A and B are shown apart, each in its own frame.
Chain A
Amino acid sequence: MAATSPKPPCLQQPEMAQSVRTTCPYCGVGCGVTVTPDGSGGATVKGDEAHPANFGRLCVKGSALGETLSLDGRLLHPMIHGQRSTWTKAVRYVANGLERVIGEHGPGAVAFYLSGQMLTEDYYVANKLAKGFIGTGHVDTNSRLCMASSVAGHRRAFGSDTVPNTYADLEEADLIILVGSNAAWCHPVLFQRMQLARERRGAIIVNIDPRVTATSAGADLQLSVRSGTDSVLFSWLLVCLAARDAMDIAYVENHTSGLDLALEAARNIAPSLEVVAGKTGIESSDISHFVDLFVARQRVVTCYSQGVNQAIQGTDKVNAILNCHLATGRIGRTGCGPLSLTGQPNAMGGREVGGLANMLAAHMGYSVPEIDRVRRFWDAPRMAQGEGLKAVQMFEAIERGEIKALWVMHTNPAVTLPRADAMRAAMAKLDLFVVSEALASTDTSLAGAHVMLPASAWGEKNGTVTNSERRISRQRSFLAPPGETRPDWEHLALVGQKMGFSGFDYTSAADIFREHAALSAFENNGDRDFDLGAVSTLDDDAFDAMQPFQWPWRAGQLPRERFFADGRFYTPDQKARFVAVAEPLPAQRTSRRYPFTLNTGRVRDHWHTMTRTGKATRLARHIAEPFLSVHPDDAAASTLAEGGYVRIESPNGAVTLRVQFDDGLPRGTVFAPFHWTNATSGLARVDSVVHSFTDAVSGQPDLKATPVALAPVAMQSEGFLVSRTRIELPPWIAHARFTVPCGEAIVFASTLKPDALHGVLVNLLGEMPEHARLGDTEAGDFRVIALAAGNLQSALFVGRRRDSMALDWLIEMLPGENLDVSQRKVLLAGRPPSGGVDLGPLVCSCFGVRRAVIENAILGGAVDVDAVGVALKAGTNCGSCRPELKRLIADCASAGVDQVRTA
């Protein structure tokens, strides 16, 4: 496009306005971002150099935030039974519905399912309304799927849910152990900080993960542990620490209890190196190397994430890790300690509020004095009297008809809960089903929501979040609320007021924050770790200006960086507890019928169910569609071809995904990302396959170890649809959609022959007054280009195999306008007139650099990641792709010239 020609509206960049400092809405790293709105709904986003979480760094997801602000798909008005309504009517409907359910079935028939994406203030009002005024303890959150085992592990060991350390310890450590964490993709900014420690002070990084991942590329030692057996390894470490006199005896004697039992259990689980090697599948020499490193290097930070938490014995895994840190006294000291990496931006805030079924409020539990204290603080008429049901059990109670009213806020349980199909069906049975949502249509709202309340989204909301290192940061609004959207706390406060409750007349997030902070300090004489007394009386301006700080911040004191080096814990005797962990056993063993273990997780450029990342075109192309990773040998044994399709089945459900070979997987284990929903795909909602067993202590589901059967699916046709408008595909067609400039693309595959599939799909395009088509039955090519006034509207390509070059070309051409005949011809050809080159997948999302280009640069003499960066800029912004660049360099070196395409 010539520089002078005007861009189509979807590509225009308006002018810039004043910047706002806020916090990224993605993972629990909690990076500060500086946002400059463009005055027309968009914004540019940069890392905040003053924020202690990231010091200006941003990952690719954060860098692309400015692309995710469109109002496409937003819920802008209250809806009742699918019809637009008013706030007055919707609030009355919800209040009346709750009163009716409470009247008929009691408060225990009401449940709230919240989200780690809610702000602390939203969480606080939900928790107060439910536990103090409605009187139900059934308040849980999607953090249950994410963090619950860490919370439970912390509480068992420390007597409180306290993260002892801080990110700065990563740069101070000599040994960083990653357990069940693909930090390179899921916490990229922290991973960069780890890499900095590696470069600057020679820190050694050990990666413990069943899979070889992008993180492995940045690690010095990869321990491919057999799924679920992490606690065997850490039990062995504890046994070795004891045997080699590597414990901090004074610390253990003065500040802990339970070592003997824990050690005895560890010796039973890990009696010898040979047994440990056998159970974990790790080479003996690697295990010994790992133990030697831990013994020799005092400054150890152990980071753990979903591979630890989302397990049938997740809490035991956490405690097996904490045991080793307690035994060596390496906790809460510079460069020493366990560090749970949370997946959500405000899972920590939710934990602080107490928005979990097994907590009451502000790090208080359900003891009689605690219930009474909170009752008095809230002046609450109807206090919940005990722990509520945790997420999976809560939805099972809905399934059994025991819970009659459910209010879901900002999360998509129809996608993310295990046994997702059954859970979706259960929601349809509710007497009252309320959804507070930013989006007009989600799998959960489509599960039968009676009332939908339009919620503010990131950029519109105002409040606080807490990151993985206990750092509270402001999320500030920089966009006007669209339509009739309101912040979540207003949804709750309006219903509370309508139900006649006092104490819900908040006028701002600051109001709520002050009350939350006051509760944390209420009758807190240092016996509760969580205390925000110092900020409980901030005025509104001070709240607006509030800088990131780590809690606790007691009145009259300074914020506290680290916990427990002093040996004072929050148990009754102030001593930490060693926990005797159990022999790990899978929730379900594989069988002849279900011989593979399904592991689930994330991909680099997407987050959760893609409601936000799915809007950014540059995030769409790194991994554009769901897939199943399979070890090549397993694939061969199951007659699966790379790029072919496979049906993954368990008794709970089935999905059909594209096969991707990954020799970094252990034999017998397959991996699939969970991001794709019915709204973004077909036959790809992976959690519909996942079993619903939960950790006995934390209630966190075992999302990474479901026995499944694999069967090749012989797709007869594949193709894509590129369109300016959203076009729904039938759910029985395996497909995935992603955002492209000026529209979206869908890739699909079917067991129908190309002509038959084309017949089905072409009808979805509707009337096409102006179109060009191609049909080639023998080659199996069927293509339609629909135009309007010379502009490309949609392109449907059906063939035997997907034509990636054609997909790229049509995506490139979609914004084009006033196409002449010769241009239309090349649309149908799916090729530029030059014939084009297949550049392969996108590797660097920040600068849009694709694989073949990088391979050519490597061939051209770019010998390392930095040289590739100099040549192509790839990897020089967020750094998320640096592990992949490293692998490409290695691949090119071993494969030589012939594998590399010409560009």
Chain B
Amino acid sequence: MTQAATPPLQRLLVIGNGMASVRFLESLVRLAPDRYAITVVGAEPEPAYNRVLLSALLAQDVTHRDIEMKPREWYAAHGIALRTGARVDRLDTQARIAHLANGDAIPFDLCVLATGSDPIRLPLPGADLPGVMTFRDLSDIAIMDAAILSGQRVAVIGGGLLGIEAAYGIAKRGGSVALVHVMDRLMERQLDVAAAAILRRQLERKGIRVLLNRSTAAVTGETAASGLRFADSSDLEADIVIFAVGIRPSATLARDAGLSVNRGICIDDDMMTNVPGIFAIGECAEHQGTAYGLVEPAYAQADVLAQRLAGREAGFGGMVLSTNLKVSGVPVFSAGDFMGEPGTQSAIMEDRKAGIYRKLVFNGQTLTGCVLVGDADDGLWYLDLIRRRVDIGPMRRTLLHGRDIAQATLPAAA
């Protein structure tokens, strides 16, 4: 330091090196490059990667390089101390020290929890047998690669976004895969019946065996998984069982530290926990009762926190959610109130042969939800209309046909 008078920088510790973490760091170093002495601790052996693209990596639609978010050099170039393969065991919010599993202690002035989420393993008989796994990390890809190559049969439990993407990745590689779902349709939290039916047909066309209304009672097998038994006593043979039944915020560290935790770590609009100076963003956090499991709100939270820590006005007011299924050839997009709450109105367009389904939900003169299957090009435009609560007025009857037509048919003055 050439200027001795400069006060020491505030020490900022970021626990977790996932997508929210990187987004936060990017924003912060752009907005306030020299304000903090930043340390990032990540549990995985490598720096943050784009977890959203894991299934694409499995499917070999992308390569390992494609999903890397920032190289180590980037952290160094911005003066960020990156510690990978390091797990924080205990967080002392009073002393402002984080204790690592290897015994190291990292003191901080401010701390951001970006610990993400953990995949849920159903507490079923046999769930601890070898061959039973989840699909969350890069390390899981290696196991699945091996299973595909050795011709093992895979059962994916869970017909949500993650399960579908996992099954798609396996099927794309030529693996044998069954997708088991407890509900009567896939992605029931994002799709209505018609959209889910189209999605199912498209997935079956890609070689995925789809089993609906199957409640898994147990994983069978003596020494290793050999299949599933369902509540209706039917069976499915499988060498690998993947739980893709959901995630839960990774909040144990925060809970143990005495932070207010509900499902996730409770935060306010400034992303602050109940302890001043301790923040949480991303999938580990819970804002106004909602723990988001998607990247977009995580990014929004990261941006808000970065702005706050850069001394700017910002706030997170919650977010209309959208889902974008990234299975090539089966674009699926859903946002907002896609099912249609009582009092709302729906417009539906369907072309089964073309595999296209499109549903818009209106509340008066605003768009409040949408489901797009087969052609999701206009999804983000609809999402924008939903979020901004745009008075769609003259586009009410043409909106369903997409942006081009809806805007082309606006009165000339518009």
Q: How far is the CA of A824 from the CA of B396 in the complex (A)?
A: 20
Q: Is the CB of B408 within 8 A of A776?
A: no
Q: Could you tell me if B351 and A902 are in contact, using CB atoms closer than 8 angstroms?
A: no
Given contacts A770-B353, A825-B375, contact A835 B347 (CB under 8 A): no
Q: Are B347 and A825 in contact (CB under 8 A)?
A: no
User: When the two chains form their complex, are residues A824 and B405 in contact, meaning their CB atoms are under 8 A apart?
Assistant: no
B356 touches A781 (CB 8 A): no
Q: Does A829 contact B (CB under 8 A)?
A: yes
Partner of A826, one of B345, B362, B396, B401: B401
Other-chain contact of A831, B352, B354, B356, B398 (Cβ < 8 Å): B398
Verify A772–B375 contact, CB threshold 8 A. no
Query: Are B405 and A821 neighbours in the complex by a CB distance under 8 Å?
Result: no
Query: Residue among A771, A778, A825 with the most chain B CB within 10 A?
Result: A825
Q: Is the CB of B350 within 8 A of A831?
A: no
Q: Are B352 and A771 in contact (CB under 8 A)?
A: yes
Say if the beta carbon of A237 comes within 8 Å of chain B.
no
Is A829 within 8 A of B398, CB to CB?
Answer: yes
Residue of B nearest to A820 (CB): B354
Residue contact A772 to B346, C-beta cutoff 8 Å: no
B349 within 8 A of A: yes
Are B405 and A781 neighbours in the complex by a CB distance under 8 Å? no
Contact at A776–B397, with CB atoms within 8 Å?
yes
* A26-52 vs B, Cβ < 8 Å mask (1 yes, 0 no): 000000000000000000000000000
B404 within 8 A of A: yes
Interface: B60 (CB within 8 A): no
Cross-chain contact B409 with A835 (CB below 8 angstroms):
yes
Q: How far is the CB of A804 from chain B (nearest CB, A)?
A: 13
Q: A829 contacts B347, CB within 8 Å?
A: no
Give the residue of A775, A785, A834 whose beta carbon is less than 8 angstroms from that of B347: A775
Verify if A828 is at the interface (C-beta below 8 Å from B).
Answer: yes
* A764: interface (CB < 8 Å): no
- Interchain nearest-CB distance for A293 vs B (Å): 49
A249: min CB distance to chain B, Å? 70
Asked if A787 lies at the interface with its beta carbon under 8 angstroms from chain B, I say yes
A833 at the interface (CB under 8 A from B): yes
- Does any Cβ of A come within 8 Å of B402's Cβ? yes
Within 8 Å CB of A781, what residues of B?
Answer: 347, 397
Contact status B401-A829, CB under 8 Å: yes
**Alpha-carbon gap, A794 to B8, bound state (A):** 76
Closest chain A residue, CB of each to CB of B412: A902
Q: Are A776's CB and B401's CB within 8 A?
A: no
Cα–Cα, bound, A902→B408 (Å)? 13
Contact call A824/B354, Cβ cutoff below 8 A: yes
Contact call A825/B401, Cβ cutoff below 8 A? yes
- Contact digits for B376-414, partner A, Cβ 8 Å, 1 yes 0 no: 000000000000000000001110111011011110100
**Smallest Cβ-Cβ distance to B354: which chain A residue:** A821
- If the complex has contacts A775-B348, A779-B396, A821-B351, are A828 and B401 also in contact, measured as CB distance less than 8 A? yes
Question: A777 near B: Cβ within 8 Å?
Answer: yes
Q: A821-B356, A826-B405, A835-B405 are in contact. Are A777 and B351 (CB under 8 A)?
A: no
Nearest CB in chain A: distance from B290 CB, A: 29
Chain B residues with Cβ below 8 Å from A779 are 345, 347, 396-397
Interface residues of A in 230-260 (CB under 8 A from B): none
Taken residue by residue from 753 to 797, chain A's Cβ proximity to chain B (1 for < 8 Å, 0 otherwise) reads as 000000000000000001111111111010001010000000000
A278 beta carbon closer than 8 Å to chain B: no
Check A776 against B354 for contact (C-beta < 8 Å).
no
Chain A residues with CB under 8 Å of B402's CB are 825, 829
Q: Let me know if B408 and A831 touch, CB within 8 A.
A: yes
**C-beta contact mask, B48-72 vs A, less than 8 Å → 1, else 0?**
0000000000000000000000000
Which A residues between 686 and 739 are near B, CB-CB below 8 angstroms? Answer: none
Q: List, in ascending order, chain B residues with CB within 8 A of A825's CB.
A: 351, 356, 375, 401-402
Q: Encode A807-821 as 1/0 by CB contact (under 8 A) with B.
A: 000000000000001
Q: B47 → chain A, closest Cβ, in Å?
A: 41
Q: Does A836 contact B (CB under 8 A)?
A: yes
How far, in Å, is A790 (CB) from chain B's closest CB? 9
Q: What B residues does A771 contact at CB under 8 A? A: 351-353
Measured CB to CB, the nearest residue on chain B to A803 is B397
Smallest CB separation, A828 vs chain B (Å): 6
The smallest beta-carbon distance between B247 and chain A, in angstroms, is 35
Q: B331-374 interface mask toward A, CB cutoff 8 Å, 1 = contact, 0 = none?
A: 00000000000000111111111101000001000000000000
User: Could you tell me if A774 and B409 are in contact, using CB atoms closer than 8 angstroms?
Assistant: no
CB closest residue in chain A, given B353: A770
Q: Which residue of B lies closest to A775 (CB)?
A: B348
Hey, which chain B residues are within 8 Å of A902, CB to CB?
412
CA of A776 to CA of B348, assembled, Å: 6
B73-114 vs A, Cβ < 8 Å mask (1 yes, 0 no): 000000000000000000000000000000000000000000
Q: Which of A773, A777, A821, A834 contacts B346, CB < 8 Å?
A: A777
Report whether A829 and B354 are in contact in the complex, using a CB–CB cutoff of 8 Å.
no
Q: In the bound complex, what is the Cα–Cα distance between A567 and B204 (angstroms)?
A: 95
What is the bound-complex CA distance between A776 and B395, given in angstroms? 13
- The answer to whether B351 touches A824 (Cβ under 8 A) is yes
Of all chain A residues, the one with the shortest Cβ separation from B349 is A774
Shortest beta-carbon distance, B92 to chain A, in Å? Answer: 57
A773 to B409, CA, bound (A): 20
Complex CA distance for A778 and B396, rounded to whole angstroms? 10
**Given A821-B356, A829-B398, A831-B398; A778-B362 close (CB under 8 Å):** yes
Please tell me if the beta carbons of A787 and B353 are within 8 angstroms of each other in the complex: yes
Residues in B neighbouring A828, C-beta threshold 8 A: 349, 351, 401
Task: Name the distance in Å between A808's Cβ and chain B's nearest Cβ.
Answer: 14
For the complex formed, measure the closest distance between the CB of B202 and the CB atoms of chain A, giving whole angstroms. Answer: 14
A824 surroundings in chain B (CB, below 8 A)? 351, 354
B345 contacts A772, C-beta separation under 8 Å? no
Q: Are A776 and B409 neighbours in the complex by a CB distance under 8 Å? A: no
Contacts of A831 in B (CB 8 A): 398, 401, 405, 408-409
Residues A833 and B396 in contact in the complex (CB < 8 Å), given A773-B350, A821-B354: no
Contact of B408 among A777, A778, A785, A835 (CB under 8 A): A835
A772 pairs with B398, CB closer than 8 A:
no
- Known A778-B345, A833-B405; judge A772-B397 contact (CB<8 A): no
Interchain residue pairs A-B with the least CB separation, the first 10? A835-B408, A778-B345, A776-B347, A772-B351, A829-B401, A835-B409, A774-B349, A821-B354, A770-B353, A775-B348
Binding site for B on A (CB under 8 A): 770-779, 781, 785, 787, 821, 824-826, 828-829, 831, 833-836, 902
Can you list 16 A-B pairs with a CB-CB distance of less than 8 A? A770-B353, A772-B351, A772-B352, A773-B349, A774-B400, A776-B345, A776-B346, A776-B400, A778-B362, A779-B345, A824-B354, A828-B349, A829-B398, A829-B400, A831-B408, A833-B408
Known: A773-B349, A777-B345, A835-B409. 7 other contacts (CB 8 A): A772-B351, A772-B353, A775-B346, A775-B348, A778-B345, A825-B375, A828-B349
